[in-house]
Amino acid sequence: MQHIDDLLVLEQTEGMAFVSDNLWGTPVTPSAFGGQLVALSLAAAFKTVPENYLARSLHAQFIDSVDKTKPAIFKVNDQAPGSRVTSRMVQCFQEQRLAMQTVCSFVARKPRTAQQADYRYQKGMPDVALPGSTSDCPFVLDPQGYPKAFPAMIWVTELDRDHATPAPPRQQMWLECPDKQQRSEQAKQCIVAMYSDVHFTRVIVRPYGIRIAPPPRHLRKIVSIDHHMWFHQEADPNNPILVDTWCSQLSSGRGVVQSEMFAHDRRLVATIMQEGRVEIDPSAQLPSPKL
């Protein structure tokens, strides 16, 4: 079983270049998990900014697949130096091939003075129960998570086998880091970034009753093209985080997915958007999409 911190280890090679030789991916694919690549890009960028800087957004483009059995190198470039706000471009290479690039934006934390107003509001969290909070709670542990595979407690209302039945393109799940270790705010953001890609693109094909683990023969490809994330407030993955995900449209082989992450105390902590590429065998006899 992988430890979450092991998936974020980076060794400096030279200057602002870092290497990871511990990539993880699901058993059904030779590629590294996109969420880990996003988190490693953020972790590499964090190594080049002061400890009082936190991420406010990241914008990743997946250019080519990354083999989970080979090392990946993350090269960081200083894009916009500043005293309070700065950004980094992180390029991921494997065998001298550019596979991914990510722009990470940071803001320095400063104590708020009494003269500074703090106007705020947010969208309300969906009215769903915490896992185990009630006897009729619909969330169950997903076997694709801890302790069998990925280092996260994943509570879902449907297991992957249930996706063989068409349903609207929406899912809700709770995620929680299983080890309960204390970490820096930067490390917490890296873990939240990794978790932001869990079970993300599968919602695109949910209306057709297509499961992806393992995928049927007529599902030729479902991959992420890009991944965008905005950090609104601090989040601690040691406590359950609700992930509310839906797909707004699928056309021309591309689906747009949006997700919102809520802390257990109902704060909206992050917004994520992703575009996924889908290839389905045109000879497949699919039902009308259930929306």
258-268 pLDDT, tens digit per residue, is 999 999 999 99
pLDDT at 159 over 90: no
How many angstroms separate the CA atoms of 41 and 57, rounded? 12
3-state secondary structure of 43: helix
How many angstroms separate the CA atoms of 256 and 170, rounded? 12
pLDDT of residue 114: 60
How many angstroms separate the CA atoms of 40 and 35, rounded? 9
Q: 170-176 and 241-251: which strand pairing? A: antiparallel
Which residue, among 22, 102, 28, has the nearest Cα to 61 in the 3D structure? 102
**Range 145-168 average pLDDT:** 88
In the structure, what pLDDT confidence band is assigned to residue 113 with cuts at 50, 70 and 90? low
pLDDT of residue 73: 98
Sign of CA dihedral 233, 238, 239, 242: positive
In the structure, what pLDDT confidence band is assigned to residue 80 with cuts at 50, 70 and 90? confident
How many angstroms separate the CA atoms of 175 and 192, rounded? 9
Average pLDDT, the chain: 92
C-beta separation of 199 from 223 below 8 A: no
CA 46 to mean position of chain CA atoms? 17
How many angstroms separate the CA atoms of 255 and 278, rounded? 7
Task: Tell me which of 97-101, 127-131, 214-218, 237-241 is least confident.
Answer: 214-218
Cβ-count burial 28-63 (b if 16+ within 10 Å, e if not): eeebbbbbbbbbbbbbbbbebbeeebbbbbbbbbbe
Which residue, among 49, 122, 34, 41, has the nearest Cα to 82 in the 3D structure? 49
How many angstroms separate the CA atoms of 153 and 134, rounded? 18
Cα 92 to Cα 12, 32, 44, 74, 143, distances in angstroms: 14, 12, 10, 5, 30
Which residue, among 281, 201, 289, has the nearest Cα to 246 in the 3D structure? 201
CB atoms near residue 128 (< 10 Å): 17
